[in-house]
Amino acid sequence: MGVLATNLGFPRMGPYRELKRSLEAYWAGKVPAVDLEQAAADLRERHWRFQAGLGLNHIPSGDFSLYDHVLDTAVMVGAIPARYDAVPASLDRYFAMARGGKLGGRGVTALEMTKWFDTNYHYLVPELAAGQSFSLSAAKPLGELRQAAALGVATRPVILGPVSFLLLAKGTGDRAANLDLLPGLCAIYAELLVELQSAGATWVQIDEPMLSVDLDATQRGAFGRAYAALREAAPNLRLLVATYFAGLGENLATALTLPVDGLHVDGVADPGQVDEAITHAPESLALSLGVVDGRNVWRSDLEAVLGRLEAAKRALGPERLMVAPSCSLLHLPVDLDLEPAIDGELRSWLAFAAQRLKEVDVLVRGLNDGREAIEEDLRESSAALASRAASPRVHDPAVRQRLVDHDTALEERTSPYGERRRAQEKRLGLPLLPTTTIGSFPQTPAVRQVRAQHRKGAVDTPTYEAGLRRYIDDAVAFQEEVGLDVLVHGEPERNDMVEYFGELLEGCVVTTNGWVQSYGSRCVKPPIIYGDIRRRQPMTVDWATYAQSRTDRPVKGMLTGPVTILQWSFVRNDQPREVTARQLAFAIRDEVVDLEHAGIAVIQIDEPALREGLPLHAEDRQDYLAWAVGAFRLASSGVRDDTQIHTHMCYGEFNDIMESIAAFDADVISMEASRSQMELLTTFTDFEYPNEIGPGIWDIHSPRVPEQAEMEALLLAAAAVVPPERLWVNPDCGLKTRRWEEVRPALVNLVGAAQAVRDRLQSQ
């Protein structure tokens, strides 16, 4: 058959976010479950037909999800926490696990949510009880396999592997202790494999991304035990173990000796491991080489990649070689052809999910039919690379000179935190346990509509800006009425906390339909950083100063930090990420200084992506943390002592990098903490955070409105660990995805909780 063209996973939401609209209509009670399920089936069919039309040999099924694939796995193996037992298996129970809300007449909290390795995708963290038992519910993987077969499309089912599932889950002890549950879980996976084979599967892809992180001997040994059991259960079913996001390092030997038929390795994240895998792979093992980038949008160098694959083919033989993207295409927009507004030169440098699969097809045709079969494709690829390298729009001498002249003294505040605190107390006059929000308020349909109309030219700029000022007037008045201490303008002008800045910075371009799933129905459009970065003009000053003019209370200037803009964009790959981070830091620094000069006393520079940028292997982390901390400090340190710098982080595991977070030297940091019931605070028993901190007391990713008593309990837990004089009160994250009907009562409860705890502490 020759070399195989394969794919690990396809974007779920649809090119125009069709799934998002169906999900939110279902959640709002506007459509029944059958309509949601039909919309999902239609999307799957479209994706399979597209991939089949390219001639892919292995097309994934089971990669689709109504919310999250890790949640799907928890449901599939029966890992359902007891609080969801109020109703039997149903969409309502599934979405209650994902979002919280009402179930069986009572309120339930959602599963915790955190980042999927070093990406901006969020997964739901499974909860495992002591002595957890498992049971198989195979309707989803079997149903999708059969749906594709009915369309005449043979697919390769995709499931999250048992060892990675346990290591990603939250148990009663540390996560390594979850491996005690492996025998029972493997029995369920064995049942599943037998059923998939009976339903017509010939290959099954089992994702084990935990092989790409540092593991100890016990954890590595778990893979051998698990796959020995699975092989015994399904001896004639071909199994492909897929790894991605990093090199396997010390785990490669383990992966190569698993009793499986194929191994996928990420040849973009770690090209060197490809040669090592080829050298040491047993003759019975096929290798799937991820050689086109599943996480970034720059067109592949087909000439260079083909040369590497030709060497692999000579070493392995065509029957043992598969060509694939480096990882699931979940992390890319669907189709570059939906971006007519991007100019021809820049378009020629790019590839989205559809184009990545076309690259795979071209490469496999070149391997099977010879270079002459793809001669024109190779010429186009080389011409695009040459065009990008030579383009003057990529290089800005002034920006590069500023980096050359960079003095590390620019990364230091004038005075230490203690002196700054006294200056800020005098200027701001805030009470004990000051209250604030993270920045954004609900993006109402009216706001979205006027912004879209302005973008299309249907509404002129004065009318547009007048409408946003009315929104700000209402937001400021509401915050004063509720009793918040530090206010925000609500960000009605912003479509997204990164895309907004991408529109305004030189060296970036934003897309029209470049949607990427972040979690659930939430999608973002990452900017594309193609050149050197500089700020054209002030980006936020007018909105912040207008809001400040409407109140005597301090209003925060709201910015996104350089590391988060870097992480949540498609970043140029022709220079080190550190260089781009410093360019972004200078642009944000200029904005910070202008906000201060305009009279803004509190400036928040959000860095929620710090943790997700952490390399997966410990040996690479210190270098990253050094330049990431330096970039934040460069952005934030150009202000006086009495200007208060905030930052915000959310939905990541920050415990192991608290020293680096402290090194930011922000005056105040707010962090997500409510979903885990303040689990984050255990860090502060061993590490005394030196500045001020606001652990979130309201999970804003759930539609439920927490009661005041619930918030008080979380705040008291925080006050038991953090000195109250350094404690702030805030939600977990921005409020743009919530409705005003939820925001109003929740903020009333938040302020009430702060006042109640304030009174209690002051009376002691």
| Range(s) of the domain holding residue 319 | 1-57+268-390
Question: 557 with 638, same domain?
Answer: yes
- Say if residue 625 is in the same domain as residue 687: yes
Of 358, 390, 422, the one marking the end of a domain is 390
Amino acid (one-letter) located at 682: T
Of 355, 390, 425, the residue that ends a domain is 390
Distance CA 265, CA 499 (A): 32
Residues 302 and 446 in one domain: no
Whether pLDDT at 606 is above 80: yes
Residue 674 has pLDDT above 80, yes or no: no
Residue 443, pLDDT score: 87
Q: Check: CB of residue 551 under 8 Å from CB of residue 476.
A: yes
78 occurs within a structural domain: no
Separation CA 309–CA 291 (nearest Å): 9
What is the end-to-end Cα distance of the chain in Å, rounded? 79
Cα–Cα dist 262/284, whole Å? 9
**Mean pLDDT score, 666-692:** 79
Least confident window among 340-354, 572-586, 598-612, 665-679:
665-679
pLDDT, residue 653, reads 67
Matching residue, tokens 């990545």: 356
User: In this structure, is residue 278 part of a structural domain?
Assistant: yes
> 164: closest CA among 123, 133, 131, 194?
123
**Residues 483 and 617 reside in one and the same domain:** yes
Q: Is the pLDDT of residue 551 over 70?
A: yes
Under 8 Å CB-to-CB from 335, ≥6 apart: which residues?
Answer: 15, 352, 353, 354, 355, 513
Question: Is residue 307, in this structure, part of any structural domain at all?
Answer: yes
- Please tell me whether residue 557 adopts helix, strand or coil conformation: strand
Q: Which of 372, 359, 515 is CA-nearest to residue 6?
A: 359
- 541 shares its domain with 668: yes
* Nearest partner of 503 among 450, 560, 460, judged by Cα: 560
Place of tokens 């909780």: 753
118 lies in some domain: no
Cβ neighbours for 675, distance < 8 A, ≥ 6 positions apart: 109, 110, 111, 112, 113, 699, 701, 702, 732
Q: Are 561 and 635 in contact (CB under 8 A)?
A: yes
Other C-beta atoms lying within 10 Å of the C-beta of residue 664: 21
Answer whether residue 136 is part of any domain. Answer: no
Residue 746 lies in a domain: yes
What CATH number has the domain bearing residue 276?
3.20.20.210
CB atoms within 10 A of CB 53: 10
Do 569 and 503 meet the contact criterion of CB atoms below 8 Å apart? Answer: no
Do 331 and 455 have their domain in common? Answer: no
> Residue 275 — φ and ψ, nearest 5°?
-65, -40
Give me the pLDDT at residue 87, please.
82
Q: What is the mean pLDDT of the chain?
A: 95
- pLDDT of residue 512 exceeding 90: yes
Please check whether residues 597 and 700 belong to one and the same domain.
Answer: yes
Q: Is 205 helix (H, G, I), strand (E, B) or coil?
A: strand
Looking at the structure, do residues 654 and 711 belong to the same domain, yes or no?
Answer: yes
Mean pLDDT lowest for which of 136-145, 176-185, 300-309?
Answer: 176-185
pLDDT at 348: 97
Confidence band of 677 (pLDDT split at 50, 70, 90): low
Q: Contacts from 88-93 at CB under 8 Å and sequence distance 24+?
A: 89/137, 91/26, 91/33, 91/36, 91/66
The count of domains in the chain is 2
Position 547 scores a pLDDT of: 98
Residues near 291 by Cβ (< 8 Å), separated by ≥ 6?
267, 268, 274, 300, 305, 308, 309, 323, 324, 326, 363
In a domain, 228, yes or no: no
Q: What is the rounded CA–CA span in Å between residue 166 and residue 181?
A: 8
706 phi, psi to nearest 5 deg: -70, 145
The predicted structure's pLDDT at residue 675 = 65
Residue matched to tokens 């993006």: 443
DSSP state of 84: G
Residues 292 and 345 both lie in one domain: yes
pLDDT at 408: 87
- The pLDDT tens digits for 3-55 are 999 999 999 999 999 999 999 999 999 999 999 999 999 999 999 999 999 99
Query: 691 falls in which pLDDT band (50, 70, 90)?
Result: very high
Per-residue model confidence as pLDDT tens digits over 199-245: 999 999 999 999 999 999 999 999 999 999 999 999 999 999 999 99
Summarize the confidence of residues 362-375 as an average pLDDT. Answer: 97
Q: Are residues 493 and 373 in the same domain?
A: no
Does the pLDDT at position 507 exceed 70? yes
Contacts 24+ apart (CB under 8 A), 563-566: 563/607, 563/609, 563/610, 563/613, 563/628, 563/631, 563/632, 564/497, 564/498, 564/606, 564/607, 564/608, 564/609, 564/610, 565/498, 565/501, 565/502, 565/527, 566/529, 566/609, 566/613
pLDDT digits (tens, 9 = 90+) for 627-644: 999 999 999 999 999 999
Amino acid symbol at 451: R
| Residue 680 in domain | yes
pLDDT at position 103 is 83
The number of residues making up the chain comes to 764
CB within 8 A of 460, min separation 6: which ones?
Answer: 454
Q: What angle is formed at CA 157 by the lines to CA 153 and CA 159, rounded to 5 degrees?
A: 160
701 is catalytic: yes
Q: Which phi and psi (to 5°) does residue 114 adopt?
A: -150, 175
Last residue of a domain, one of 390, 421, 448: 390
Phi and psi at residue 157, to the nearest 5°: -60, 145
Asked if 458 and 382 sit in the same domain, the reply is no
Quote the DSSP letter at residue 597: H
Does residue 18 contact residue 36 with C-beta atoms inside 8 Å? Answer: no
Residue 654 pLDDT exceeds 80: no
> How many CB atoms sit inside 10 A of residue 175's CB?
16
Instruction: List, for residues 516-533, the tens digit of each pLDDT value.
Output: 999 999 999 999 999 999
Contact 44, 148 (CB under 8 A): yes
Say whether both 374 and 487 belong to one domain: no
